[in-house]
Amino acid sequence: MSVSVSSPVRGVPTVTLDLPERRNAISADLLGALAGTLGRLGEDPGTRAILLTHTGTTFCAGADLKDPPDPAAFVALLRQLVELPKPVVARVTGHVRAGGLGLLGACDLAVAGPGSTFAFSEVHIGVAPAVISMPLLPRVDPSAASRYYLTGERFDGAEAARIGLVTAYADDPDSTVQALLDGVRAAAPGALAETKKLLTAKVLDAFDDHSDALIALSARLFGSAEAREGMAAFFERRERPWAL
């Protein structure tokens, strides 16, 4: 199974991206499994919040380049996370790349621990952070987005917290996650759902306004000659021809 679910602890089940041999990359299979799991939990009246985490050293490496998901299906998953009536809290203690940052940005709260690293690596393989911009750009510091989108450089958990990509960086992420979950558990479920709607309104506006155009852009770029060369260089572990 690419996604596993633990029994709820005081109303909070843990959903784990569990394909470490593929660096939890977003394939059609993982996307479908995660969407189905979130749908079930979102409708469960006993679920107060969802903890999203990972096995292995990578939270999510982005799209699986050998089995890429349909861009429209990925957008639907991101929107599902944003619209879910339960808060989703991410726990990250590994690497996050490209589309994985969109997955993270669609969560309501996120805690990064030691060893976590982040990069918008799309430009290095000939594509752009297109559809993931919808949950990310309304939340991330604009000057930081410009820097990291354009350079693809890596940054750590403390920087991710500074720019608004994650809620907090902590040496002991589990304690911080539990503090956040305890606050959510103390909240009235109906009030919590309505408060989430207030917080995600601008993000959903971005989906309403830009989904079709960004899905088309993503599909066009992934089918381009640049992307084909960039992905070939990635798999062959050689330098891209445009790198100076």
Domain limits, the chain = 3-172
Indicate whether 168 pLDDT > 90: yes
Indicate whether 1 pLDDT > 90: no
Cβ atoms within 10 Å, residue 9: 12
Q: State both tokens at 172.
A: 């002991």
* Pairwise CA distance, residues 127 & 108, whole Å: 27
pLDDT tens for each residue of 196-208: 999 999 999 999 9
pLDDT tens for each residue of 138-149: 999 999 999 999
High-pLDDT (> 70) share of the chain, % = 100
pLDDT tens for each residue of 16-53: 999 999 999 999 999 999 999 999 999 999 999 999 99
DSSP string across 11-63: TB-EEEE--GGGTT-B-HHHHHHHHHHHHHHHH-TT---EEEEESSSEEE-SB
* Pairwise CA distance, residues 47 & 153, whole Å: 38
Indicate whether 132 pLDDT > 90: yes
Q: What pTM value is reported for the model?
A: 0.96
Is residue 68 very low, low, confident or very high in pLDDT (cuts 50, 70, 90)? confident
* Pairwise CA distance, residues 226 & 242, whole Å: 9
Which of 166, 151, 144 has the alpha carbon at shortest distance from 52?
166
At the fourth CATH level, which superfamily is domain 3-172? Answer: 2-enoyl-CoA Hydratase; Chain A, domain 1 (3.90.226.10)
pLDDT tens for each residue of 72-126: 999 999 999 999 999 999 999 999 999 999 999 999 999 999 999 999 999 999 9
